[in-house]
Amino acid sequence: MTKIAIIGECMIEVSGELFGATQQSFGGDTLNTAVYLSRASSDIEVFYVTAMGKDALSLGIIARWQEEGINTEFVLLDEQRKPGLYLIQLDEDGERSFMYWRNQSAAKHMLSHPAFDSIVAELKNMEMVYISGISLAILTPEDRDKLLALLDKLHRQGVKIAFDSNYRPALWETRQQAEDCYQRIYAITDIALVTDEDESELWGNKCDEETIQRLSEFGVKQVVLKQGSKGAQYQNLELDDVSTTVPTIPVENVVDTTSAGDSFNAGFLSGHLTGKSIIDSITQGHLLAGCVIQHKGAIIPKQFTNPVVKTFDNLVGV
């Protein structure tokens, strides 16, 4: 069975209308991808690497991950800290805005946890390690350097590195700090999963060709550029200059765009890691994301994603 370790942060999610009814769940970019990837393929074992508290809420959330089929043996328990929290507010078009409380979250300090080194020894057994820009941004500068050094070592040992840029300006001290960090991670990235909007905001480029050229110069081997309603573009930067664009699948009833990119990544990786064509893998990403955005919350009930996942085996790409 293919093994992937996903490193990041899960927070408590509160969503709803301003001064209206709210509901509590959990989420976070990498955790969302872990859940949907676990649902998308029974041939992939998904390990989640993070830190949580020892409080009842933390333990309950971890139990939910286990119910999703996620391997939680790399989830560290912090005696002193608890999960962060975020609030989602939706406008009438389903677009969301966020507020965060995460400065003292357990995940922010996971690399300084006494048991983190025991996880390091196991990561070399993974086919792939997946992280996001948020995974890096929440860490202290010292821990960020430590994680980048670990990923570099794993990469030299043959472990594939997948990186979702997921740029959030508020999490970085300066834009230059983010650029420097991203350039370091891109140098060891086998698959970059990026969005056109994030790339434009961080680097100031005006077209997708600039993004592709920059990622190639940084050393990225393969890139999936998510282009919103236009679809997604794939290019193997090691082999040729030919790109493949797969149009998105239109969705009429958009309720909540939270986790759209995270679920796309899960659908794509479920195909990529099991040997499917690029077209099939991207199509899986589109299908899964299209399902997720028709429901509220970062992680929607299985009953909605199960029918979509069942269609994956019937895809025949070129």
pLDDT tens digits for range 36-74: 999 999 999 999 999 999 999 999 999 999 999 999 999
User: CA 90, CA 98: separation in Å to the nearest integer?
Assistant: 9
| Least confident stretch, 4-13, 18-27, 125-134, 282-291 | 18-27
pLDDT at 91: 67
Q: Which fold has domain 2-308?
A: UDP-N-acetylmuramoyl-L-alanine:D-glutamate ligase (3.40.1190)
pLDDT at 316: 61
Q: Which of 5, 86, 39 is CA-nearest to residue 304?
A: 39
In the chain, what percentage of residues exceed pLDDT 70?
96
pLDDT at 136: 97
- Sorted by where each begins, the domain ranges of the chain are 2-308
pLDDT at 122: 95
**DSSP assignments along 7-76, one per residue:** E---EEEEEE-TTS-EEEEEE-HHHHHHHHHHHH-TTEEEEEEEEEESSHHHHHHHHHHHHTT-B-TTEE
On average, the pLDDT of the chain sits at 91
- pLDDT bracket for residue 94 (50, 70, 90): low
Q: What is the mean pLDDT of residues 100-105?
A: 84
Each residue's pLDDT tens digit, 246-288: 999 888 888 888 889 999 999 999 999 999 999 999 999 999 9
Task: Considering only residues 87 and 7, tell me which one the structure prediction assigns the higher pLDDT.
Answer: 7
| pLDDT value at 93 more than 70 | no
| pLDDT value at 89 more than 80 | no
Q: What is the mean pLDDT of residues 226-245?
A: 88
Q: What is the mean pLDDT of residues 103-115?
A: 92
Please state the separation of Cα 175 from the chain's center in Å: 21
> How many residues appear in the chain?
318
**DSSP assignments along 184-208, one per residue:** HHHTT-SEEEEEHHHHHHHH--SSH
- pLDDT bracket for residue 24 (50, 70, 90): confident
In the chain, what percentage of residues exceed pLDDT 90?
75
- pLDDT bracket for residue 208 (50, 70, 90): confident
User: CA 73, CA 126: separation in Å to the nearest integer?
Assistant: 14
| Least confident stretch, 28-37, 175-184, 222-231 | 222-231
pLDDT at 86: 81
Q: pTM score, two decimals?
A: 0.93
pLDDT at 318: 39
Annotated catalytic residue, options 43, 262, 280, 313: 262
Residue 262 catalytic?
yes
User: CA 301, CA 308: separation in Å to the nearest integer?
Assistant: 12
| Least confident stretch, 73-77, 92-96, 225-229, 268-272 | 92-96
pLDDT at 100: 83
pLDDT at 69: 97
